[in-house]
Amino acid sequence: MIEGGDSARTDEELLQDFLGGREPAFAELVRRHERSVRAVARRYAAQPDDVLDLAQRAFLRALQSARRGRWLGLGRVPPFQALVLRIAVNLGKNHARDRARWARAPVEALDDVEVEPTGSARLERDERRDAVRRAVLRLPRRQREVLTLRIDAELSFAEIARVLSITENNAKVHFHHATRRLAALVAQDGSAPGRSQP
């Protein structure tokens, strides 16, 4: 056993240990990357339960992908962090798309829904958060992915480049365009008819 236990081992070593049948290695992989995976999922999910579900599915799919690669003899699997975050982004996008599809219910369906009263500060905060979420989902795909990984997962541009298989400079350019477009979309959403002005 290496001094320091699993915390001293690399992701690749832990993944190989897990694929070799050592279950505790997976717990260490989850511990290392859960915060960033949940942060990515939070960008796309409206409910806390959805965040947890998306994060769990991302880890499970990452392991399935690694196992599949090993069974098929594909050689070295991608770095675990890149693999699980890429899967989290894809699951998040699918979740947001499906949620939007189901959200198109008739207005009459809301007549019987009781809304819990909230303070104006909380209401404004929630409206702002929802406006930003809507704006992020309207960004071009690559800009949305880079922004999510940079802001929510707090990855460096080098790490983002590795996760998305792009150059570091390309990641920086996409982030720059994403922040400018996001600001414009939020401002546009705030000035749309029927929205309160500050």
Instruction: List the domain boundaries for the chain.
Output: 1-103, 120-192
What's the CATH fold of domain 1-103? Answer: Rna Polymerase Sigma Factor; Chain: A (1.10.1740)
Q: Which residue has the higher pLDDT, 111 or 82?
A: 82
The CATH architecture that domain 120-192 belongs to is Orthogonal Bundle (1.10)
pLDDT tens digit sequence for 41-64: 988 887 888 899 999 999 999 888
Question: How far is C-alpha 59 from the chain's CA centre?
Answer: 12
Whether 15 shows a pLDDT value over 90: the answer reads no
Cα–Cα nearest to 78, from 193, 163, 189, 4: 163
Distances 165 to 41, 79, 83, 133, 186 between C-alpha atoms, Å? 20, 12, 11, 25, 29
Q: What pLDDT, on the 0 to 100 scale, is given for residue 104?
A: 45
Residue 1 pLDDT > 60: no
Tell me if domain 1-103 and domain 120-192 are identical in fold.
no
Question: Within 13 Å of residue 163, how many CA atoms lie on the same side as its CB?
Answer: 29
Res 169: pLDDT: 94
Question: Does pLDDT of 106 surpass 80?
Answer: no
pLDDT (tens digit per residue) in 109-154:
444 445 454 566 667 777 777 778 788 888 898 998 898 888 888 8
Question: 180 near 194, Cβ under 8 Å?
Answer: no
What does pTM read for this prediction?
0.59
| Of 8-12, 117-121, 166-170, the least confident | 117-121
Per-residue pLDDT band for 195 (boundaries 50, 70, 90) equals very low
